[in-house]
Chains A and B, each alone.
Chain A
Amino acid sequence: MLYFAKWKIAVIAAVCLIGLVFTVPNFLTSETRQSIPDWLPNQSINLGLDLQGGSHLLLQIDREAVLRDRLTDLAETMRNDLGDIRPRIRRSGFQVGDLSVSFEVRDTDRMEEVREVLRGLVTQIGGGISVGAGGPDLQISTDGNRFIATLTEAGIKARLSSAVQQSIEIVRRRVDETGVNEPTIQRQGEDRILIQLPGVDDPDRIKRLLGRTAKMTFHLVDLSADPNAARLPPGTMVLYEEEGEARIPWAVRKKVEVSGEHLVDAQPNYQEGRPVVAFRFDAVGARKFGQITSQNVGRPFAIVLDEKVISAPRIESAILQGSGIITGGFSVQEANDLAVLLRAGALPAPLTILEERTVGPDLGADSIAAGETAAVIGFAAVVFFMFLAYGPVFGIAANTALVTNLVLIIGALSALQATLTLPGIAGIVLTIGMAVDANVLIFERIREELANGRSPFNAVEAGYRRALTTIVDANVTTGFAAAVLFAMGSGPVRGFAVTLFLGIICSMFTAILLSRMIVALWLRRKRPNVLTV
């Protein structure tokens, strides 16, 4: 246990050195860091939002809305596909339930034909990596002459997944518009999106932007219908325009003439000193828009955003160049926001904020300062104590191990680009205390062996050897606790788990190899006859 081959010494020294090289950038200013050549590590530890300040938002996509959309689409497709069959198949209207669409076929002798059409609508979802999610997305069943198309588990998952994916893209665009530096936007779980916005201490605008679906559509107004009437003609619905406190009802055609998908640009602007939003369509949108406006000159055209009429201006003349202006009594801020929303595109379904945690930059800075003070004082106390307890030689060995341990943890955190959180700092401080445990185990063992009358060499040898199994058993169990924390925890707690885990690995390395090497080298040089630990 006490003989170290030259190459072993070199490897141990190399590990320490690599740790040091990764640690150094943390103590440099960002300018100096940038001047470090690329082949050297030049990244500092990633600070969590609780330390650098920022906002953490957890959003959830409206699952019911996603599925409702899917079923409405499905009913529409069925209507079209079945409608194409000649001679016509007589059937009842579609009933859209929570997870299914159903209808009755009146020509009972043509069930097979219908079944054939519906079968064509079923898509196989590839199992692939997502084991268990494979299979058809729809299940077609019959009950008498009633056909029922039900979304399967796989179909729901796939739909939610793609809705979340789309939403992430839109959310990213909206967030980018606000000029936040390095936002993190990622999927969490089945139907959630986690957004981390470093440096944002007032996320109100972002929350306002994310709180809207921004589905924009243009509809013709049904002038023949009275919006206040109890019954409306089929194909017409009532939507409201909000003007201050007042809610003005409009009877608009359900048919979407042009939709927001065709927008290519939207910019806030002014018209007669009032904020407006100017927009431009792509070629398809421009053609549709031109057609509608030229056929309906003189009639109001409702601009609808998220089921609300923004305004319903009268079409003065055909608009053929594919651009226009939305007026709606906006404030400057509202016009800006609307332009951002229209540019970024509509969300597939509404998002709700489930959780928000915003930390101001002051608190973060205070936490770092307090954490550093605690680390330095805790460290000094432990170092002093170890010297008192184990004397110069073993004290130096243990304390060198302790310093190296810290360097390795910080180096590893930087190299892995793991996120350091406040609980993470607590983890490091805790590690300072616990890291000496391995050395304490060894030194106490050496004391015992010396007391049993062994020679210094023998005692040290036996001390390290016998303490080894204990150290491994003890650390493996603590390692399990850290691993569970990492697997199950979230955010700050995870940061704590990472530092705790790294601390365990580093303390085993420093105690079993580094401190042993120091003691061994000292023993070989001095060859003492009597040893006091």
Chain B
Amino acid sequence: MFRLKLVPAKTSLRFMERRKIAFVLSALLILGSIVVYFGQGLNRGIDFEGGILVEVKTEGPADLAAMRGLMNGLGLGQVALQEFGAPDDVLIRVERQPGGAEAQQTAVNTVKAALDPEFPGISYRRVEFVGPTVSGELVEAATIAVLTSVVIMLIYIWLRFEWHFSVGAVIALVHDVVITLGMFSVTGIEFNLASVAAILTIVGYSINDTVVVYDRIRENLRKYKQMPMPDLLNVSINDTLSRTVMTSVTTLLALVALFVFGGEVIRGFAFAMIWGVVIGTYSSIFVAAPVLMVLGLKRGTRDAEDGSGDEATA
């Protein structure tokens, strides 16, 4: 009977021997991300920056140049226009106006008043403005959310496994988050509340992947009492390799569908997730497990001692 196998049934790839390559690659990615993040920064959406966002639909293809000219003449500071999914769909972003929430409100009215006579039949698909107080709080809440979830996972894994695993998982996690932030910075994809949701989901996905590999390492520690550590880690990664790849592929199938068909509003989110799944899969194989060696995971620790002889002959 035919079975689609993305990974051969029995593999024995030498991951540990190649770990230096992976570490160098990861280090470069992280370093690059940090440099870009601090150099270029994120393209923060109005959720975090404050300001105004207006999505309009024009009758017939929009004359972007004319619209841009009109918007720049309003004296509202930086205005960015982009076609949004269709030629008659335009996204207008106006930087945060000096002053409080009222100033944003006034600017929205100015934009509408300018567009209405010039583009008859224009309709407003979306109007959003966020005042400076709220955007500041949203930044804070988002940061706290990501940090809290990382800490909770650290504690959970620490309780369920040895501390090495907990630290290793968090290293893999931070690795994924930093590189994802780097991706946002390089591509200039708008960073908004949905992006934070994407990052938290990546955190969840990445830890999920890592835990599956760690679970197998824990099991093998009990099963193979004599095997040297690098071999044991290799065996564990190989054991779970097929599953890791299969799950990544099904998740990616769903995400690609979302990216292609899910509409313009969700596209950035879908892209971030796709990136996150790829990075998360990479990190659980090439970072999370090898890092255990660096951290000096040894036998004789809690996990290796209990459950002696458990299924050793299976």
| Interface residue? B200 (CB, 8 A) | yes
Query: Bound complex: CA of A386 vs CA of B250, how far in Å?
Result: 8
A434 touches B205 (CB 8 A): yes
Query: Bound complex: CA of A366 vs CA of B267, how far in Å?
Result: 14
Given A207-B105, A493-B193, are A433 and B255 neighbors across the interface (CB < 8 Å)? yes
B148 touches A352 (CB 8 A): no
B204 touches A371 (CB 8 A): no
Query: Which of the residues A362, A370, A485 comes within 8 Å of B200, measured between beta carbons?
Result: A485
Chain B residues, Cβ within 8 Å of A382: 250, 253-254
| Interface residue? A264 (CB, 8 A) | no
| Interface residue? B302 (CB, 8 A) | no
Query: Bound complex: CA of A448 vs CA of B10, how far in Å?
Result: 9
Residue from B123, B153, B196, B197 with most neighbouring chain A CB atoms (10 Å): B197
How many whole Å from A446's CB to the nearest CB in chain B? 11
B207 touches A481 (CB 8 A): yes
Query: Bound complex: CA of A388 vs CA of B9, how far in Å?
Result: 15
B247 touches A436 (CB 8 A): yes
Given A360-B124, A426-B266, are A390 and B254 neighbors across the interface (CB < 8 Å)? no
A residues 459-475 touching B (CB-CB < 8 Å)? 462, 466, 469-470, 473-475
Chain B residues, Cβ within 8 Å of A440: 243, 246-247, 250
B201 touches A470 (CB 8 A): no
Determine, out of B16-24, B25-33, B62-70, B128-136, the stretch whose residues face the partner at the interface. B128-136
Determine, out of A127-135, A299-307, A330-338, A372-380, the stretch whose residues face the partner at the interface. A372-380
Given A382-B253, A391-B1, A433-B254, are A354 and B131 neighbors across the interface (CB < 8 Å)? yes
A370 touches B10 (CB 8 A): no
**Closest partner residue, chain B, to A50 (CB atom):** B265
Given A355-B130, A363-B126, are A391 and B3 neighbors across the interface (CB < 8 Å)? yes
Residue from A374, A449, A496, A533 with most neighbouring chain B CB atoms (10 Å): A374
**Closest partner residue, chain A, to B138 (CB atom):** A490
Chain A residues, Cβ within 8 Å of B254: 378-379, 381-382, 429-430, 432-434
B211 touches A352 (CB 8 A): no
A433 touches B152 (CB 8 A): no
A488 touches B246 (CB 8 A): no
Chain A residues, Cβ within 8 Å of B204: 477-478, 480-482, 500
How many whole Å from A297's CB to the nearest CB in chain B? 43
Query: Which of the residues B123, B196, B209, B240 comes within 8 Å of A493, measured between beta carbons?
Result: B196
| Interface residue? A58 (CB, 8 A) | yes
A473 touches B160 (CB 8 A): yes
Interface readout for B130-152 with A: 1 if CB under 8 Å, 0 if not?
Answer: 11011000100110110011001
Chain A residues, Cβ within 8 Å of B130: 354-355
B3 touches A371 (CB 8 A): no
A477 touches B157 (CB 8 A): yes
Residue from B55, B105, B130, B253 with most neighbouring chain A CB atoms (10 Å): B253
Query: Bound complex: CA of A452 vs CA of B138, how far in Å?
Result: 53
Residue from B125, B131, B152 with most neighbouring chain A CB atoms (10 Å): B125
| Interface residue? B156 (CB, 8 A) | yes
Given A389-B3, A470-B215, are A433 and B125 neighbors across the interface (CB < 8 Å)? no
Query: Bound complex: CA of A423 vs CA of B101, how far in Å?
Result: 26
B246 touches A444 (CB 8 A): yes
Query: Bound complex: CA of A363 vs CA of B153, how far in Å?
Result: 37
| Interface residue? B257 (CB, 8 A) | yes
- For chain A, the bracket of interface size reads 35 or more
Query: Bound complex: CA of A395 vs CA of B254, how far in Å?
Result: 17
Interface readout for B265-282 with A: 1 if CB under 8 Å, 0 if not?
Answer: 110011001000000000
A358 touches B126 (CB 8 A): yes
Query: Bound complex: CA of A477 vs CA of B172, how far in Å?
Result: 14
A377 touches B314 (CB 8 A): no
Chain B residues, Cβ within 8 Å of A476: 156
| Interface residue? A230 (CB, 8 A) | no
Chain A residues, Cβ within 8 Å of B2: 388
A residues 192-236 touching B (CB-CB < 8 Å)? 201-202, 207
**Closest partner residue, chain B, to A469 (CB atom):** B215
| Interface residue? B57 (CB, 8 A) | yes
Chain A residues, Cβ within 8 Å of B253: 378, 381-382, 385, 433
Query: Which of the residues B3, B100, B134, B258 comes within 8 Å of A374, measured between beta carbons?
Result: B258
| Interface residue? B118 (CB, 8 A) | no
Query: Which of the residues B4, B129, B205 comes within 8 Å of A388, measured between beta carbons?
Result: B4
How many whole Å from B98's CB to the nearest CB in chain A? 16
A residues 372-420 touching B (CB-CB < 8 Å)? 373-375, 377-379, 381-382, 385-386, 388-391
A371 touches B262 (CB 8 A): yes
| Interface residue? A437 (CB, 8 A) | yes
| Interface residue? A441 (CB, 8 A) | yes
Given A367-B265, A371-B262, are A437 and B211 neighbors across the interface (CB < 8 Å)? no
B251 touches A358 (CB 8 A): no
**Closest partner residue, chain B, to A377 (CB atom):** B257
Given A437-B208, A477-B156, A485-B145, are A352 and B265 neighbors across the interface (CB < 8 Å)? no
| Interface residue? B127 (CB, 8 A) | yes
How many whole Å from B279's CB to the nearest CB in chain A? 16
A370 touches B211 (CB 8 A): no
| Interface residue? B212 (CB, 8 A) | yes
Chain A residues, Cβ within 8 Å of B193: 489-493
Residue from B105, B141, B211, B257 with most neighbouring chain A CB atoms (10 Å): B257
Chain A residues, Cβ within 8 Å of B102: 352-353
Query: Bound complex: CA of A43 vs CA of B215, how far in Å?
Result: 42
| Interface residue? A40 (CB, 8 A) | no
How many whole Å from A531's CB to the nearest CB in chain B? 11
Query: Bound complex: CA of A172 vs CA of B275, how far in Å?
Result: 45
A378 touches B148 (CB 8 A): no
A389 touches B200 (CB 8 A): no
How many whole Å from B82's CB to the nearest CB in chain A? 16
| Interface residue? B38 (CB, 8 A) | no
| Interface residue? B239 (CB, 8 A) | yes
Query: Bound complex: CA of A386 vs CA of B1, how far in Å?
Result: 14
How many whole Å from A432's CB to the nearest CB in chain B? 5
A362 touches B131 (CB 8 A): no
| Interface residue? A422 (CB, 8 A) | yes
**Closest partner residue, chain A, to B57 (CB atom):** A362
Query: Bound complex: CA of A356 vs CA of B101, how far in Å?
Result: 10
Given A355-B101, A389-B3, are A489 and B160 neighbors across the interface (CB < 8 Å)? no
Query: Bound complex: CA of A437 vs CA of B149, how far in Å?
Result: 22
| Interface residue? A45 (CB, 8 A) | no
B residues 140-199 touching A (CB-CB < 8 Å)? 141-142, 144-145, 148-149, 152-153, 156-157, 160, 193-194, 196-197
Q: 5 A–B contact pairs at CB < 8 A?
A: A363-B55, A433-B254, A444-B246, A478-B208, A497-B197
Using a CB–CB cutoff of 8 Å, the interface residues on chain A facing chain B are 50, 58, 60, 201-202, 207, 352-360, 362-363, 366-367, 370-371, 373-375, 377-379, 381-382, 385-386, 388-391, 422-423, 425-426, 429-430, 432-434, 436-437, 440-441, 444, 447-449, 451-452, 462, 466, 469-470, 473-478, 480-482, 484-485, 487-493, 496-497, 500, 532-533
7 closest A-B pairs by beta carbon, nearest first, are A370-B263, A433-B254, A481-B204, A378-B257, A433-B251, A378-B254, A488-B145
Apart from A437-B250, A477-B207: 4 A-B pairs, beta carbons within 8 A: A360-B126, A371-B263, A381-B253, A436-B250
